[in-house]
A and B are shown apart, each in its own frame.
Chain A
Amino acid sequence: MARVLMLGWEFPPLFSGGLGVATYGLVKSLSHENQIRLIIPTAASPDFQNVNIVGLNRVTAEEINLERLHFSFSFSNTELHQLPLSASPYHYTNYVLSKSESNELDTLKEGKAGMEVIHNTFSGNEVYGPAIQHKVYLYAKLAEEIASDGKFDVIHAHDWLTFPAGMNIKNRTGKPLVLHVHALETDRAGHETRNEIYEMEKSGMEAADQVISVSQFTKDQIITLYGIDPKKIAVVHNGIEPVRTYRKDHALKDKLVVFLGRLTHQKGPQFLVETAEKVSRVYPRVKFVVAGMGDQFAPVLESSAHKKLGSKFIFTGFLSKAKVNDLLAMADVYFMPSISEPFGLTALEAAQYRVPSVISSQSGVAEVLNASLKADFWDTDKYANYIFALLKYNALHKTLSDQAVQELDGLTWGHAARKVQHVYQTITQSKN
């Protein structure tokens, strides 16, 4: 049984994307054979068997030594200052870490007042938000203090948000560091991106003892775009928690093609519109339901209007998990035209609801879901042909749904956890 210091960002019940789902699934499965201490910015759930959850929103003075924190603060590296506008994980923001906030950190005081600042920074329901760099920075400092006891065998950090913390703790304690890549800055901001987050990811992965990527697709990106040694990257595909699903009727006479996710460049919204146009030409009784928000919402809306496809689209905005389930229960086809998708857990969720997927080949989930129809992200003719076929040929729809459900049986978090366990063993043994 290994003692794992897990550094996460999203965790149920607070999460906005796949990261929280994945962290939870993995922690839960790993907890059967490991002792886990999980540090997250905002915790809203109690500890469970073998898992101690440390939330910075509720951290106690005993857990951090504020005086030392303050003292070491002035020596801390300054690379985190002045982060660029693209620094948010999921949204482009115009945020630049401001002087006043830095000052606030500098004046973090001992005792009650200091604790209050920390708790305030990490409370609320927004796990990202405009103050993200500020949070990342403070998280790294606090996690380092919390972990200074060194009572763990391995550090396991999830995505760039926790990489600085992971590196700090490795430096401080000498414990082996595993970086788990669920998404890269090059996915979010484009392959040419070389900003500070990119640098943070790169230096983190260089320093790490082992990198885990959620797909071969992401591993290839880490090798080619970040120049990391392939030998230290292990692929561990995400699993999926079994759920009870249902079907739901709807009043529309059209069939429903569902797009689920943030409307950002990475998700290929322009291909969504192009495909919708092509599909409705050959299969008029169709509606594309777009569930999600993002900076590409206005462009998508405009181009759909320009192509006179207004009646073909339904925009729902961001949906709660319950509403997403309802939507999947009504959907006929799940469509994910992402330009660069490290995994794409939603395609598996759709499969649980017996909704077959048309997905981009540039996705991790394409590697594990054989029973899906795949095309290069730009190939809207092929997407349209596939969506048409799923809407028109019932036997195809049924076969893909049946086979996908069968494939899900092999895609468990337990399976993923065993591979992670193997990674732990490899690096802790080589350390000894």
Chain B
Amino acid sequence: MPSICFYFQVHQPFRLKPYDCFKIGYDHHYEDEPVNKIILDRVSEKCYLTANQTLLNLIDRHKGNFRIAYSISGTAIEQMEKYRPDVLQSFQALAKTGCVEFLSETYYHSLSYLYSKEEFTRQVTKHRGKIKEYFKQDPQVFRNTELIYNNEIANFVHQLGYKAIICEGLDHVLGYRSPNFIYHPAGNSAMKCLLKNYKLSDDIAFRFSNRGWAEWPLTASKFANWAHHTAGNGETINLFMDYETFGEHQWPETGIFEFLKHVPGEILSHPDFNFKTPSEILDLYPVRGEYDVHALSSWADLERDLSAWLGNSLQHDAMERLYGIEKNVNETGDANLLDNWAKLSTSDHFYYMCTKYWNDGDVHKYFSHYNTPYDAYINFMNVLTDFEHILEMKNESVYR
């Protein structure tokens, strides 16, 4: 009896305001509050509120047979607290249905695992606390930022007490095997991996409105038919995508909400199919094989690697400078300072610095409010330079 497992990623970064060299040493406030508010307002109206209501209705209509999961970054929750408590409440309403699972991630949606296990653990713990506070759940399944993954990460996350980790279903690792089963990471039979079915996921997230696509227009019944075809060769079809797919990346005019409204009914029209959340999948199905990933992978771009965040020396430099002062930040014992520093670890700051493809005006450009990756780097480094300056003064006063 195969299951469909939906997981939606909700994330908003704290974008930095334009911060030129003249502000260094004088202006210690980095957030672009007006821009962050405008963007959250826009995404709330176009996506979060509409999609939440749609899904809430579906859960009602299907009387517990439609089930989904979210991962909401800590920075997104914080901005909702600040600017859109109504959106946060609508997520809480979903949590109350009992049909929605919330996953763990790094609070700041960061790449901290790659630079500091201590900071990674701290951010995961902080996020777990936030999820408990708002949604009264203790997450059992972990998703790393941008599904960054390898065996070592799976092991580390297992040690933190998680039963499973979400990752990309990589063709070159799976070979002839299907992503539609539970696997365990190489060398750890106690941990489990849920693999994204990228083909079916991307049919919705990326190709839905593409008129050049042979399958356009994608209807709910067509999609359900594809899913039904996996019967006999799969136990869990993991559809993982950015939540902003609904209404923001795919505009309402494309019919994406109509699609969403009808997909559950179409899927459930086949008596063998159901919807389950990640934790339920783990209880329901056995582990069918080993998933062995050495090199770091992600769900981004065609490369499915880290090159969007760590593909050039600007990104490496900024990242190394940031984690280079971790110890000094911690030594101050100043929670506010630590929070400001950790906000700089959000992956988006580094994504904006990505130089691959940017001349082609592609998806990377769409997600950046900077004119060029160089501007993104310069702005970030100016902020960091000021932050280092504060840190120095703080440390001097501590040791005096």
| A interface residues with partner B (beta carbon < 8 Å) | 278, 281-283, 370, 373, 381-382, 384-386, 388-389, 392-396, 398-400, 403
Are B359 and A395 in touch, CB under 8 angstroms?
no
Provide the main secondary structure of the chain A interface. Answer: helix
The verdict on A389 contacting B312 (CB below 8 Å), with A384-B21, A395-B317, A403-B355 known, is: no
**Contact residues in A for B226 (Cβ distance below 8 Å):** none
- Shortest B148–chain A CB gap in Å is 22
Interface residues of B (CB under 8 A from A): 20-22, 24, 312-314, 316-318, 355, 359, 374, 377-378, 381-382, 385
Contacts of A281 in B (CB 8 A): 22
Q: Which 10 residue pairs of A and B lie closest in terms of their CB atoms, listed nearest first?
A: A395-B317, A388-B21, A385-B20, A389-B378, A282-B21, A385-B21, A395-B313, A393-B381, A399-B314, A399-B313
The answer to whether B22 touches A282, judged by C-beta atoms less than 8 angstroms apart, is: yes
Chain B residues with CB below 8 A from A388, complex form: 21
Pair A399/B21 contact, Cβ less than 8 Å: no
Say whether B313 contacts A386, CB under 8 Å: no
Residues of the B chain whose Cβ atoms lie less than 8 Å from the Cβ of A392 = 21, 381, 385
A396–B377 touching, CB < 8 Å: yes
Judge whether A389 and B359 touch: CB under 8 Å: no
Contact A398 B313 (CB under 8 A): yes
Whether the pair B313, A389 counts as a contact (CB closer than 8 A) is no
Which single residue of chain B is at the shortest CB-CB distance from A282?
B21
Q: Judging by beta carbons under 8 Å apart, are B374 and A282 in contact?
A: no
Bound CA–CA A427/B148 (angstroms): 57
Report B314 CB to chain A, min CB distance, Å. 5
Central interface residue in A386, A396, A403, by most chain B CB within 10 Å: A396
Question: Can you list 14 A-B contacts with CB-CB less than 8 angstroms, sorted by A residue number?
Answer: A282-B21, A282-B22, A283-B21, A382-B20, A384-B21, A385-B20, A385-B21, A392-B385, A393-B317, A393-B378, A394-B317, A396-B314, A396-B317, A396-B377
Q: Which residues of A contact B20 (CB under 8 A)?
A: 381-382, 384-385
Inter-subunit contact A396/B21 (CB<8 Å): no
Mostly helix, strand, loop or mixed at chain B's interface? helix
A382 CA to B312 CA in the complex, in Å? Answer: 24
Distance A278 CA – B23 CA, assembled complex (angstroms) = 12
Residues of A within 8 A of B374 (CB): 373, 396, 399-400
Docked Cα-Cα span, A370 to B374, in Å, equals 10
Report how far A373 CA is from B317 CA in the complex, Å: 19
Do A370 and B359 touch across chains, with their CB atoms under 8 A apart?
A: yes
- List the A side residues contacting B316 at CB < 8 Å: 395
Chain A residue contacts of B317, Cβ below 8 A: 393-396
What would 14 more interface pairs be, CB under 8 Å, given A381-B20, A389-B377?
Answer: A281-B22, A282-B24, A370-B359, A384-B22, A385-B20, A385-B21, A386-B378, A389-B21, A392-B381, A392-B385, A393-B377, A395-B318, A396-B314, A399-B312
CB contact under 8 A between A395 and B21, given known A373-B374, A386-B378, A389-B381: no
B349 to chain A, nearest CB (A): 15
Residues of B within 8 Å of A398, CB to CB, are 313
Do A396 and B24 touch across chains, with their CB atoms under 8 A apart? no
A396 touching B22 in the complex, CB below 8 Å, given contacts A370-B359, A403-B355: no
Query: Which residue of chain A lies nearest to B25 when distances are taken between CB atoms in the complex?
Result: A282
Contacts of B385 in A (CB 8 A): 392
Q: Is the pair A381, B378 in contact by a Cβ cutoff of 8 Å?
A: no
With A381-B22, A386-B378 in contact, is A395–B314 under 8 Å at CB? yes
How many Å from the CB of A6 to the closest CB on chain B? 34
Residue of A nearest to B375 (CB): A373
Residue of B nearest to A389 (CB): B378
B256 to chain A, nearest CB (A): 34
A398-B355 Cα distance, complex, nearest whole Å: 14
Measured CA separation A382–B318 after assembly (Å)? 21
**In the bound complex, CA of A373 to CA of B376 (Å):** 12
Q: How far, in Å, is A370 (CB) from chain B's closest CB?
A: 6
Inter-chain CA distance A283–B20, complex, in Å, is 13
Chain A residues near B355: list those with CB within 8 A. 399, 403
Question: Given the complex, which residues of B lie within 8 Å of A399, measured CB to CB?
Answer: 312-314, 355, 374
| Cα of A395 to Cα of B318 in the assembled complex, Å | 9
C-alpha spacing A194/B101, complex, angstroms: 72
Q: From A400, which residue of chain B is reached at the shortest CB distance?
A: B374
Shortest distance between the CB of B133 and any CB in chain A (Å): 39
A383 to chain B, nearest CB (A): 11
**What residues of B have a CB within 8 angstroms of the CB of A282 in the complex?**
21-22, 24
Cα–Cα, bound, A385→B20 (Å): 6
Chain B residue contacts of A384, Cβ below 8 A: 20-22
B376 to chain A, nearest CB (A): 11
Residues of A within 8 A of B21 (CB): 282-283, 384-385, 388-389, 392
With both chains docked as a complex, state the minimum distance between the C-beta of B350 and any C-beta of chain A, in angstroms.
Answer: 13
Q: With A and B bound together, what is the CA distance between A431 and B21 in angstroms? A: 58
Instruction: Specify which chain B residues have a CB less than 8 angstroms from the CB of A386 in the assembled complex.
Output: 378
Residues of A within 8 A of B314 (CB): 395-396, 399
Q: Which residue of A lies closest to B385 (CB)?
A: A392
A392 and B355 alpha carbons, distance in the complex (Å): 20
Which residues of B sit under 8 angstroms from A382, Cβ to Cβ? Answer: 20
Cβ–Cβ < 8 Å partners of B313 in chain A: 395, 398-399
Residue of B nearest to A395 (CB): B317
Which residue of chain A has the shortest Cβ distance to B374 in the bound complex? Answer: A373
B382 & A389 in contact (Cβ 8 Å cutoff): yes
Q: Which residue of A lies closest to B316 (CB)?
A: A395
Minimum CB–CB distance for B337 against chain A, Å: 23
Complex Cα distance A165/B380, Å? 55
Chain A residues whose C-beta falls within 8 Å of the C-beta of B382 in the assembled complex: 385, 389
Q: Give the distance in Å from the alpha carbon of A301 to the alpha carbon of B108 in the complex.
A: 51
Chain B residues lying within 8 Å of A393, measured Cβ to Cβ, are 317, 377-378, 381
> Roughly how many angstroms separate A399 CA and B372 CA in the complex, as a whole number?
13
Give CA–CA (A370, B356) in the complex, Å.
Answer: 12
A367–B321 alpha-carbon span in the complex (Å): 32
Which residue on chain B has the smallest CB distance to residue A387?
B21
